[in-house]
Amino acid sequence: MAETLAGGAYLSADGKTWVDADGAPLSKEAAAEAQKLIEARQRQREFDEAARVEFEAQRDPIARALLAQQATRQAVAAPRASEK
């Protein structure tokens, strides 16, 4: 569910003025707090999206085959500790 600052925090059409749910201007402190909340939410969403992309790649049989091939090459390229 989408949550915002208590009372609402939205930018007006000019993109500069912060207002609450009833159109009243927000104080600078409230606007700064709203901005932080939005940035945190966006970071979480980007993390979730990256995790989802990775998960989808794991489910994709072609991606799994490529990863397996890459893992084999890396195992061959990296010498074993006993051989050093």
Give the footprint of other proteins on this chain (CB under 8 A).
Answer: 1-13, 15, 19-23, 35, 38-39, 41-42, 45-46, 48-49, 52-53, 56
Integer Cα distance of 45 and 39 in angstroms: 10
Closest CB to other proteins among residues 21, 66: 21
Closest CB to other proteins among residues 49, 70: 49
Minimum CB–partner distance for residue 2 and other proteins (Å):
4
How far, CA to CA in Å, does 74 sit from each of 9, 35, 55, 69?
51, 44, 22, 9
Residue 4 backbone dihedrals phi, psi, to 5 degrees: -135, -175
Closest CB to other proteins among residues 31, 76: 31
